[in-house]
């Protein structure tokens, strides 16, 4: 992992993903409705795993999600769960009028039994 950034470009099905390897910050922006969510989340998991093994540091994850389907929701939960042993900083951003996204962030915090910063964007 010699690059300074890893990127997935936003599409109609995938969010914009920027992983700043130098800073350990993973930003996910947009909607998550991929044809194969396991491939999408496997790639993110690989990036984070390689980073934490190489640096012995935790990751900051900033989620600015507009929408995600049920399958992606389950995969996102598993992805976040895998990161918990490394004590990531999890930030869940929502727009003032988007109560569903706000509540989803609160639900993940409860499900994972882990603090997620739910922040109005």
Strand partners, 92: 63, 118
Average pLDDT over residues 80-85: 96
The structure's pTM equals 0.94
The pLDDT value recorded for residue 3 is 73
| Cα 114 to Cα 11: distance, rounded to the nearest angstrom | 30
pLDDT digits (tens, 9 = 90+) for 87-112: 999 999 999 999 999 999 999 999 99
**SS3 category, 27:** strand
4 neighbors 22 (Cβ within 8 angstroms): yes
Architecture of 5-120 per CATH? Answer: 2-Layer Sandwich (3.30)
Write down the domain spans for the chain.
5-120
Range 60-88 average pLDDT: 96
pLDDT of 78 reads: 97
Q: Is the pLDDT of residue 2 over 70?
A: no
pLDDT at 1: 45
């Amino acid at each position: 992992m010699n690059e300074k950034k890893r990127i997935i470009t936003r599409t109609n099905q995938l969010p914009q993903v920027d992983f700043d390897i130098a800073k350990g910050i993973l930003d996910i922006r947009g909607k998550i409705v991929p044809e194969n969510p396991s491939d999408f989340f496997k790639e993110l998991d690989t990036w984070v795993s390689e980073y934490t093994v190489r640096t012995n540091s935790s990751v900051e994850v900033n989620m600015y999600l507009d929408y995600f389907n049920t399958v992606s929701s389950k995969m996102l939960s598993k992805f976040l769960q895998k990161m918990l042993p490394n004590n990531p900083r999890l930030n869940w951003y929502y727009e003032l009028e988007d109560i569903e996204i706000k509540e989803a962030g609160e639900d993940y915090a409860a499900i994972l039994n882990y603090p997620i910063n739910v922040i109005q964007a």
